[in-house]
Amino acid sequence: MAISILVVMSKEEVYQQRLRRYLTALRNEKPDRIPLRPFVAEFTARYAGLTCQQVVHDYHLAFEAAVKCANEFDWDATVPNMVYVWTGLTQAAGLRYYGIPGINIPPATAFNYIEPPEDQAFMLEDEYDALIDDPTAFLYDIWLPRVSTEIAPIGQPATSRNNLALVKSAMAMMEYFSAFGPQIQRLRTECGMPSAIAGIFKAPFDILADKLRGYIGITLDMATQPAKVLKACEALMPHLVNVGLATADPARQVPIGFWMHRGCVPFVNPQQFRSHYWPTLKPCIEEFWKRGHQTLFYAEGNWDYHLDDFASLPERSIVFHVDRGDILLAHKKLHQKFALSGGIPNLLLSYGKPEEVRACCKRVIDGVAQDGGYIMDSSAIMQNDTNIDNLRTLTEFTRQYGDYSASSCAPTSEMATLRPCDGADALRLVGLTSGLAPARKPGICRPWEEKKKELPPITGDEDLLRRVWEQIEGLANMYIWQLLLSF
């Protein structure tokens, strides 16, 4: 008589199994089955019975909603909170550029970014030299007072509102970021769920087009002063790399998130991509890889025109996420070197029928996932219009149809140990490459050499004083650059 034995895995065993599956696919190899990594943002609110206002304004509720989804969906990785902008913080800083649910927009609508008209851009067309000379000083002196309703411009009296906005928003940022470590650990211990990404990066050109000059402004500048735009992109490079490395996974396992916005055709033409966007992006990605970090190219929009350029990056250095592009073309151009993710249209997940979702998932799996190196996900971040039943259908179908265990190709055995990225072999390289050398050291605001001139003669351990000074400087530096990149 046959006896069946039910094996119940611990949460840690489930975590290790999921992490191994996810990392294997990230490295463009073949795991036991296709991993699932849905980037669920306001969807978590819908699933947990909350409003967009609740999860964007109270990050504790957002964390709870993320845990609920991680516990009740059989995914392999998720983000601790994909509703990343905490409007409690943005209100403390008085940031002008957000539509906040329950204030500017209805409580059931996801927060949104409000780009100012060109004549009210947060950086003016004649201010490139100031940005190029010292990007961090520019952000504090010029950009922050313009984007805030509370911060006084240089030369005007600093009011209590000014001081309170700086103190409250800085303390709020510290509180918020400090909460992610326990949230990641909670996902591991309570849900057996790995965190999908770590760190943040944006292309220098996108920074100009998003938060500084705006899209209209950058379009005009590319016609009237392209050399200044290029120098500004070059000046931003080391600072953006510094933020990416400072926030990356210290274990060098999961990739740095790179959110791609306005560098693709037709936002820029092919010549502008090759002259400005790509030359100031590629060295940053190569620098991450030298330090052992993959980068997730979250290619919002259609980047088909640029796939050949991406194919020139080092093997396995990126994971390419397909939004509106042709995932079959991306597979043809990139799969020999890089893993892919995404390709399931958000419109389908919101308004399609379950049988249509299954059919689409089958087409994508058949077309790009037969040899591994694919992570199942929607095309773009999922907000509260995503249909719960359709996401459950995507999950269940991928689990059934995406099982490699019966295939002739066995899972890759090298991933039995969860190794870091292959680029970690280059960790012997210290400091940024010469092409990224800045005028001022990234990660600080005022150099120790300037502070030292203000002090009496030092009789004790100067290295100790310098080290602590730069450590605290790093917090102030991270505050302003995270406002720019994340909030």
Nearest to 256 by CA among 266, 268, 247: 247
Find tokens 């996900």 and name the residue. 377
CA gyration radius, the chain:
23
Token digits of residue 229: 């735009």
Domain check: are 481 and 390 in the same one?
Answer: no
Higher pLDDT, residue 480 or 421: 480
What average pLDDT does the segment 7-32 reach?
Answer: 95
Domain check: are 315 and 379 in the same one?
Answer: yes
Whether the Cβ atoms of residue 221 and residue 268 lie closer than 8 Å to each other: no
Domain check: are 231 and 376 in the same one?
Answer: yes
- The contacts of residue 323 (CB under 8 Å, 6+ apart) are 298, 299, 300, 301, 302, 342, 379, 380
Domain check: are 215 and 338 in the same one?
Answer: yes
- Overall domain count for the chain: 2
Domain check: are 205 and 275 in the same one?
Answer: yes
Which domain covers residue 486, as residue numbers? 443-487
Q: What is the pLDDT of residue 440?
A: 75
pLDDT in tens, 353-406: 999 999 999 999 999 999 999 999 999 999 999 999 999 999 999 999 999 985
Token digits of residue 20: 């191994």
Q: Give the separation between CA 127 and CA 276, rounded to whole angstroms.
A: 18
Q: What is the pLDDT of residue 423?
A: 62
Find tokens 């995404």 and name the residue. 342
Task: Write a three-state SS string for the chain.
Answer: CCCCCCCCCCHHHHHHHHHHHHHHHHCCCCCCECCECCCECCHHHHHHCCCHHHHHHCHHHHHHHHHHHHHHCCCCCECCCCCCCCHHHHHHHCECCEECECCCECCCCCCEECCCCHHHCCCCCCCHHHHHHCHHHHHHHHHHHHHECCCCCCCCCCCHHHHHHHHHHHHHHHHHHHHHHHHHHHHHHHHCCCECCCCEECCHHHHHHHHHCHHHHHHHHHHHCHHHHHHHHHHHHHHHHHHHHHHCCCCCCCCEEEEECCCCCCCCCHHHHHHHHHHHHHHHHHHHHHCCCCEEEEECCCCHHHHHHHCCCCCCCEEEEECCCCHHHHHHHHCCCCEEEECECHHHHHHCCHHHHHHHHHHHHHHHCCCCCEEECECCCECCCCCHHHHHHHHHHHHHHCECCCCCCCCCHHHHCCCCCHHHHHCCCCCCCHHHCCCCCCCCCCCHHHHHHHCCCCCCCHHHHHHHHHHHHHHHHHHHHHHHHHC
pLDDT in tens, 186-202: 999 999 999 999 999 99
Domain check: are 223 and 290 in the same one?
Answer: yes
Tell me, what CATH number does 323's domain have?
Answer: 3.20.20.210
- The contacts of residue 3 (CB under 8 Å, 6+ apart) are none
Confidence check: pLDDT of 1 > 80: no
Give domain status of residue 387, yes or no: yes
Domain check: are 323 and 394 in the same one?
Answer: yes
For CA atoms 262, 264, 267, 272, the dihedral sign is positive
Percent of residues, the chain, with pLDDT higher than 70 = 92
Domain check: are 329 and 457 in the same one?
Answer: no
Token digits of residue 305: 């025109």
Whether the Cβ atoms of residue 100 and residue 111 lie closer than 8 Å to each other: yes
Give domain status of residue 429, yes or no: yes
Give domain status of residue 38, yes or no: no
Q: Give the separation between CA 348 and CA 357, rounded to whole angstroms.
A: 7
Q: What is the pLDDT of residue 2?
A: 54
Q: Give the separation between CA 193 and CA 36, rounded to whole angstroms.
A: 11
Q: What is the pLDDT of residue 427?
A: 41
Give domain status of residue 378, yes or no: yes
Q: Give the separation between CA 45 and CA 69, rounded to whole angstroms.
A: 10
Give domain status of residue 390, yes or no: yes
Confidence check: pLDDT of 332 > 80: yes
Domain check: are 333 and 293 in the same one?
Answer: yes
Find tokens 């009296």 and name the residue. 157
Q: What is the pLDDT of residue 420?
A: 73
Q: What pTM value is reported for the model?
A: 0.93
Confidence check: pLDDT of 41 > 70: yes
* Upper half-sphere CA count for residue 480 (Cβ side, 13 Å): 21
For CA atoms 299, 37, 26, 296, the dihedral sign is positive
Domain check: are 361 and 463 in the same one?
Answer: no
Query: N- to C-terminal Cα distance for the chain?
Result: 63
Give me the chain's average pLDDT, please.
93
User: Angle 354-368/388-401 helices, nearest 10 degrees?
Assistant: 40
State how beta strands 374-375 and 339-342 pair. parallel
Q: Give the separation between CA 154 and CA 450, rounded to whole angstroms.
A: 20
Task: Write a three-state SS string for 166-216.
Answer: HHHHHHHHHHHHHHHHHHHHHHHHHHCCCECCCCEECCHHHHHHHHHCHHH
Q: Give the separation between CA 413 and CA 15, rounded to whole angstroms.
A: 18
Give domain status of residue 246, yes or no: yes
Confidence class for position 409, pLDDT limits 50, 70, 90: very low
Give domain status of residue 340, yes or no: yes
Confidence check: pLDDT of 298 > 70: yes
Domain check: are 212 and 350 in the same one?
Answer: yes
Give domain status of residue 288, yes or no: yes
pLDDT in tens, 241-297: 999 999 999 999 999 999 999 999 999 999 999 999 999 999 999 999 999 999 999
Domain check: are 322 and 453 in the same one?
Answer: no
Confidence check: pLDDT of 214 > 70: yes
